[in-house]
Structure 1
Amino acid sequence: MTDIIQLLPDHVANQIAAGEVVQRPASVVKELLENAIDAGADEIKLVIKDAGKTLVQVIDNGKGMSVTDARLSFERHATSKIKTAEDLFQLNTKGFRGEALASIAAIAHVDLKTKRPVDELGTAIEIEGSTVKSQDIAVTPTGTSVAVKNLFFNIPARRNFLKSDTVELRHITDEFHRVALAHPNIAFAFYHNGSELFNLPKENYRQRVVHIFGNKTNEKLVPVEEETEVLKISGFVGKPEYSKKTRSEQFFFVNQRFIKSPYLNHAISAAFEGLLKDGYHPSYFLNLSVDPKTIDINIHPTKTEIKFDDEHTLYAILRSAVKHSLGQFNIAPVLDFEQQSDFNTPYSYKNKAGKTPTIEVDQSFNPFADDSGSSKSVDSRTNYKSPPTANWESLYVGLESKSNNGQRDEVDFNFEQDHNTETIFSDTSVETSKTTFQLQQKYIVSTLKSGMLIIDQNRAHQRVLYENFLKHMTIKEATSQQLLFPLELGFTPNELKIIMDLREDLEHTGFVFSNVTKETLTVTGVPVGVPESEVSIILEQLISDVEHDVPDANFSAADLLAKSMAKSLAIKNGQTLKNTEQEHLVNSLFACKEPNVSPTNRPTFITMSTDDIEKKFV
């Protein structure tokens, strides 16, 4: 029998490796930016076309590469970062696996131009699908320029799995934020289809956060500083009142590397315990510095997960540091047992005895005395005569009954007996006419000819609102309620772009916007029935839904908007409904085109037949 195990060709192995390293254009952006940082660059430019599908180019002013290094950089497991296995426990660089460029070159067209400061001329290399097409001497600035074109050109199935340009650009922007936040000492520029999205100069950490997320972020930040033998913490957390329903502003950096850690995230949540509303998450931008020997960053291909030697200690230190900062800056409520200086006696009164106030009473004063009487009200100190008091009996003049023989007037009698008329309406038939009742402030129970109907009030109302919003967006004739005082809401540039992409559909539901700037949005009108206090919540929920379920080319943005608004405005479980409200909701639900399921395809009601109920008693 012949042997069946064989070595894979290099180009096949590279394509398999690319499946781990390169999942979408954002993966290419991450790898190229990290290589530029490792090259010692202090100015990095990112150029994107068609959300990275056509072009991803990173230009830096780093130390560049020699002719040999430029050629070897595209070989598998070729790296300048480590030489022995022991170096894996002393990593201070970003890329060290030596697979990034080889994997990218296997699935795209790559143009590399590089030059060292000591060289007069640089090197230019063109690669298509792991095959070197050309290698020449070129005139190029000091540093390196890597242009990745036509990503997944030789893997059509993988290219078809890419989302719309809006989705892919959002992933690229997220990766850019993570790298730029970790390195405020490096200047970054970001261009998409010829337009500048970000231009970040060299600055301190607070300025970098504000430049990325908008000027209004500055007032939201609370500094966190802590240094121990095990861990050094620096950065900022957001004030509780600015918490969001999304986790878009949560960043952990360990040794200037972005990571995801649910365990450490729980430490932050524990520090904010009691300060946040349900469903809201704190914002944080925290840098953690630890000994490289105590972490393992090679447990995940994308290197976004890290294994710590002692997570429990880090958890306790992080939680205490954040809680201390919230208390130090009077964000969290604290108990202060020190006496306030406002209650102290002034120094000039130190030797003075307390003076008891005196009260003088004029015992001869009679408020009912007539002016003609002998009793007069005179102030003994000022000899002032008080003004005369009118005869108090005159207050009752004209109030005697005008009827004869001391009998009460008929009109007065009817007025006194008005409270007896309520017995006319106290018929018990009102109670017996109920067709629905509420169960545990969550379900509406109604009777059927064949048994019983149980409706989930939250899902049912979502279905009703969802179809109403879709109808308004279709006919484009929604009624708007103008606000007396316009609302000015602050958003990050990325969040504002999401709202502007959906602006037309939002206006068809009844929203009216004006004065849109780079960071603020003024709302002058809302849909009828939407309270003013819910506007920011609705828009935040919409942004959250778009970020987690972004509509691609074959998905309706109007549908997503209708679902999001219905979820925000629907009656919540635990809300008491009057009998008329219950009946109106039931009637509205069964007037819908699809009353059986909610907008998220969950059942809105169940039925129990009389036979099912009888079986329970068998």
Structure 2
Amino acid sequence: MGSIIRLKPELIEKIAAGEVVERPASVVKECIENSIDAKATRIIIELKRGGKEEILVRDNGTGMSREDALLAVERHTTSKIAGLRDLFAIKHLGFRGEALASIAAVSKLTIVTNDNPNSNEATRVMVSNEGKHWETAAAPRGTTVVVRQLFYNTPARRKFLGSDVAELKHVLNIVTRYALAYPNVGFFVKHNGSEILSAPPTPDLKAKVSHIYGKDIAKNMLRVERSGTIKVEGLVGVPGIARKSREYQSFFVNRRYIKSQLLTEALESAYKTLLFLERKPVAVLNLTIDPSKVDVNIHPTKLEIKFDDEDAVFSEVHLAVKEALESNVLIQKQPSKQGVLAKVLSQTKPQSTKPQQLEVSTQAMLVKDEPRLKGIRILGQIAKSYIVAEDTQGLMLVDQHAASERINLERLQNSKMTLGKQTLLQPILVTPPKHQAAIIKHNLEALKELGFDIAEFGQNEFIVREVPVVFKQNVTKELLNELFDEIAQNIKKTPRGLVNEEIVHTMACKAAIKANQELSLKEMEDLLNELLGCKLAYSCAHGRPTIIRFTVKDLERLFKRR
């Protein structure tokens, strides 16, 4: 007897389901796409324990007949495509005919649906390991999908799900994307009975951004519109609201949410030097393309896409964003021809100074023990960002922000999370985006342990009266918004919630002296003195160097004296 066997149908179904359903957010995504394809204008999502216990998605779409509902839970059944030709010009969000069958394979699934606008007679279909059956029910036109005990029959998959808050964040991430893609559709989310997101339908994308991310972001968004063989439209943020992550970037192709490195690069290249290092622009962009020119059938999750002409797509997105920035006088229009000086410089080859030798020497000096300011003389400050000092061995360059960050980090770590507080002269009202407010609310006690006096102040608003003593600079609303933004993004699967090294690192960075901040001689001496007293003085919380040294020999080599 051979060693190759045919897999049983139930095993095949569970393997296939693993490609489509990864977590509660995958279920919500598939249901939302079906609702939108059914022309729904109102979609309600209700979750219990982040969707791990129960997920309910209700819409007011066209619904299904009894026959269609019973067939829809079978694998490879769909109303979206009929033949091979349709596969190469997909016009719907769903088309693979796998979603409901995959969900049913790893959960207890119930569907209540009605396709008659003049009657409340509906069909309830129930599917589980025991099979499927149906009964008559009462419900208005539309469809309600209820998914209970996700991965109850695949415990290994269930074990790898995150905390309730982590899974909720993934769900909100998907919901907010589709709320932005379809501003004319209302999206409403409840978690454990409490409403955490309300984004009513509106014809204006900027109004929907206001509902999702808040008024401060919405009022700083610029309209993008460029038409051609590829139409690019949407909103991009002014540089002042740029973020440290790409969480606020949403790309859609024919209003399908996708992830694309190509589109990310096209967007960010348009900003050039407008953004500080590691800052990412805010953007909501939709590309309307001939469906035959894109391939969305790359992966069952349908998040990846291939373009026939990637160069054209990159160019159109880049130009659309650049034109929006130029029209708002945020960047200067560049002449089409090079100036004389630019031509000369581009043709001049710089002479090598053997930087590799200097780099080796510099890195080697980073691990040597330093005396505490004894024999060290402060020479000044470069660009209000770097402290220049001299000792018997040569020259020291100190990154003042990285140095301050290292000092704050060790203070926080040595405090064992029992931090002193300082009262703000005036309380600050913080309004994070709705999808992040739930995460902040869930971790209020942890924030208080870290030294914040923070409390709810109305729906999705928080009032801050006290902050940890490590915040020496002027604490502003912008600083707190940015801090809580990063905290919400850095939630980890840990029973300690926010009280973990990653959050402490974020606080150390946000409370640090900034680049482009002028320091007095005493302030520079104090900073260097504290830095050299740290256990790990030579790198900041993110691993970047705090001190770079040039020995006398390094300088002689640079000036070609050696």
After TM superposition, the score normalised by the length of structure 2 is 0.78
Q: What is the distance in 2 between the residues matched to 1:433 and 1:139?
A: 83
The verdict on how the C-alpha distance between 1:517 and 1:103 changes in structure 2, with shifts beyond 3 A counting, is: same
State the Cα distance separating 1:295 from its structure 2 match. 0.3
Which residue of 2 is the match for residue 6 of structure 1? 5
Q: What is the distance in 1 between the residues matched to 2:254 and 2:540?
A: 46
State the Cα distance separating 1:16 from its structure 2 match. 0.4
Which residue of 2 is the match for residue 466 of structure 1? 409
State the Cα distance separating 1:65 from its structure 2 match. 2.2
Q: What is the distance in 1 between the residues matched to 2:244 and 2:539?
A: 25
The letter of the residue matching 1:206 is: K
**SS at 1:532's partner residue?**
coil
Which residue of 1 is the match for residue 218 of structure 2? 218
Query: Bigger CA drift: 33-42 or 254-263?
Result: 33-42
Which residue of 2 is the match for residue 540 of structure 1? 482
**SS at 1:322's partner residue?**
helix
The letter of the residue matching 1:83 is: A
Query: Bigger CA drift: 207-216 or 17-26?
Result: 207-216
Q: What is the distance in 2 between the residues matched to 1:506 and 1:120?
A: 49
Query: Bigger CA drift: 25-34 or 196-205?
Result: 196-205
Q: What is the distance in 2 between the residues matched to 1:585 and 1:102?
A: 59
Is 1:480 aligned to residue 428 of structure 2? Answer: no
Q: What is the distance in 2 between the residues matched to 1:442 and 1:150?
A: 58
**1:564 pairs with 474, 494, 506, which one?**
506
The letter of the residue matching 2:492 is: P
Is 1:260 aligned to residue 259 of structure 2? Answer: yes
- In 1, are the aligned partners of 2:222 and 2:236 still within 8 Å (CA)? yes
Q: What is the distance in 2 between the residues matched to 1:494 and 1:110?
A: 27
Which residue of 1 is the match for residue 268 of structure 2? 269
- In 2, are the aligned partners of 1:437 and 1:446 still within 8 Å (CA)? no
The letter of the residue matching 1:164 is: S
Q: What is the distance in 1 between the residues matched to 2:463 and 2:295?
A: 47
1:482-526 deviations in Å (ceiling 9; x for gaps): 33x554555322334444444444444444447834465554444
The verdict on how the C-alpha distance between 1:3 and 1:42 changes in structure 2, with shifts beyond 3 A counting, is: same
- In 2, are the aligned partners of 1:486 and 1:523 still within 8 Å (CA)? yes
State the Cα distance separating 1:442 from its structure 2 match. 9.2
Q: What is the distance in 2 between the residues matched to 1:460 and 1:279?
A: 18
Q: What is the distance in 2 between the residues matched to 1:241 and 1:518?
A: 26
- In 1, are the aligned partners of 2:538 and 2:545 still within 8 Å (CA)? yes
State the Cα distance separating 1:333 from its structure 2 match. 4.4
The verdict on how the C-alpha distance between 1:42 and 1:455 changes in structure 2, with shifts beyond 3 A counting, is: closer
State the Cα distance separating 1:465 from its structure 2 match. 2.4
1:418-467 deviations in Å (ceiling 9; x for gaps): xxxxxxxxxxxxx99516999x969999999xxxxx99997776554234
State the Cα distance separating 1:15 from its structure 2 match. 0.5
The verdict on how the C-alpha distance between 1:460 and 1:227 changes in structure 2, with shifts beyond 3 A counting, is: closer
- In 2, are the aligned partners of 1:38 and 1:93 still within 8 Å (CA)? yes
State the Cα distance separating 1:177 from its structure 2 match. 0.9
**SS at 2:499's partner residue?**
helix
**SS at 2:196's partner residue?**
strand
Which residue of 2 is the match for residue 41 of structure 1? 40
CA RMSD of aligned residues (A): 3.7
- In 2, are the aligned partners of 1:470 and 1:558 still within 8 Å (CA)? no
Which residue of 2 is the match for residue 241 of structure 1? 240
The letter of the residue matching 1:312 is: D
Q: What is the distance in 2 between the residues matched to 1:332 and 1:603?
A: 32
- The equivalences for 1:270-289 within 5 A come to 270-289=269-288
- The equivalences for 1:65-144 within 5 A come to 65-117=64-116, 121-129=121-129, 131-144=130-143
**SS at 1:272's partner residue?**
helix
The verdict on how the C-alpha distance between 1:517 and 1:326 changes in structure 2, with shifts beyond 3 A counting, is: farther
State the Cα distance separating 1:8 from its structure 2 match. 1.5
The letter of the residue matching 1:128 is: S
1:87-143 deviations in Å (ceiling 9; x for gaps): 1112111111111111111110011222221877432221113x4243223333222
Is 1:586 aligned to residue 542 of structure 2? Answer: no
Q: Percent identity?
A: 36
Q: What is the distance in 1 between the residues matched to 2:477 and 2:11?
A: 53
Is 1:552 aligned to residue 493 of structure 2? Answer: yes
Is 1:203 aligned to residue 207 of structure 2? Answer: no
Q: What is the distance in 2 between the residues matched to 1:138 and 1:542?
A: 45
Q: What is the distance in 2 between the residues matched to 1:201 and 1:82?
A: 31
Q: What is the distance in 1 between the residues matched to 2:104 and 2:330?
A: 51
After TM superposition, the score normalised by the length of structure 1 is 0.71
Report the number of matched residues: 498
Which residue of 2 is the match for residue 307 of structure 1? 306
- In 2, are the aligned partners of 1:214 and 1:519 still within 8 Å (CA)? no
Query: Bigger CA drift: 279-288 or 528-537?
Result: 528-537
- In 2, are the aligned partners of 1:444 and 1:456 still within 8 Å (CA)? no
Which residue of 2 is the match for residue 495 of structure 1? 436
Which residue of 2 is the match for residue 316 of structure 1? 315
| RCO comparison, higher one (Cα < 8 Å, 6+) | 2
Q: What is the distance in 2 between the residues matched to 1:286 and 1:37?
A: 19
Which residue of 1 is the match for residue 329 of structure 2? 330
- In 2, are the aligned partners of 1:472 and 1:508 still within 8 Å (CA)? no
- The equivalences for 1:130-209 within 5 A come to 131-204=130-203, 205-209=205-209
Query: Bigger CA drift: 30-39 or 55-64?
Result: 55-64
Q: Which has the larger radius of gyration?
A: 1
Q: What is the distance in 1 between the residues matched to 2:233 and 2:541?
A: 44
- Gapped regions of structure 2 (runs ≥ 5): 336-371, 549-562
State the Cα distance separating 1:555 from its structure 2 match. 4.0
Q: What is the distance in 2 between the residues matched to 1:442 and 1:572?
A: 13
**SS at 2:57's partner residue?**
strand
Q: What is the distance in 2 between the residues matched to 1:570 and 1:35?
A: 48
Q: What is the distance in 2 between the residues matched to 1:303 and 1:73?
A: 19
Q: What is the distance in 2 between the residues matched to 1:487 and 1:140?
A: 46
The letter of the residue matching 2:217 is: T
